[in-house]
A and B are shown apart, each in its own frame.
Chain A
């Protein structure tokens, strides 16, 4: 079955960077958009950006534009989200999600907890 498996929890210092992976299986990796979504504690879901795995094209939310980089490795069917210059308010759960036949996010990873402290 279609599945996205994310890397494990991370604890980072303020000012550092974090890189979260998202490995796809059960479908052709290049066919659908791959999104990254964040949820800070007690806050709403927040779209960070997406990548087209076929050609690597990306688009980022304005809020994260200067700090986020989304990449992919087609040979590994894996996407990555790197967030730099971490602040305490970057603490939260980070999800990858795959589009279905349209823009709806039909398949979700299990989430990766990122904790940022000084």
Chain B
């Protein structure tokens, strides 16, 4: 099972919006509505930001949103804030009853 494909890095200024893509196949991202997104600050445990493509856990800001089209899922962050600077990972359930992560995207807030 190959890792999902994410851009290595994205950047934006405070207040702006950014989008991170996550491309898989019909055996993972495209085949199920079980895409999740995680925020990971160095030295801390990852935090679930989006599950089931577009649902937000309680307590996660509505500045974070998720979507999917075909084999590509996306995480959007609006109104960028300094504390959003982190690594972001997508993951998907797969047809083998397993989970696969993306390669991660480093978000820099300029």
Residues of A within 8 A of B (CB): 35, 37, 44-47, 49-50, 59-62, 95, 97, 100-106, 108-111
Query: Are B46 and A103 closer than 8 Å at their CB atoms?
Result: no
Q: Is the interface of B mostly helix, strand, loop or mixed?
A: strand
> Which residues of chain A are within 8 angstroms of B57 by Cβ–Cβ distance?
100, 104, 106
> Which residues of chain A are within 8 angstroms of B68 by Cβ–Cβ distance?
none
Q: Is the interface of A mostly helix, strand, loop or mixed?
A: strand
Distance of B46 from chain A, by nearest CB (Å): 6
Pick the interface stretch among B13-21, B73-81, B99-107: B99-107
Partner of B104, one of A44, A100, A101: A44
Query: Are A61 and B51 closer than 8 Å at their CB atoms?
Result: no
Distance of B61 from chain A, by nearest CB (Å): 16
Distance of A114 from chain B, by nearest CB (Å): 16
Distance of A35 from chain B, by nearest CB (Å): 7
> Which residues of chain A are within 8 angstroms of B38 by Cβ–Cβ distance?
45, 105
Size of the B side of the interface (Cβ < 8 Å), in residues, is: 27
CA distance A111 to B48 in the complex (A): 15
Query: Are B51 and A59 closer than 8 Å at their CB atoms?
Result: no
CB-nearest residue of chain B relative to A47?
Answer: B99
> Which residues of chain B are within 8 angstroms of A108 by Cβ–Cβ distance?
45-47
Partner of B98, one of A44, A47, A101, A102: A47
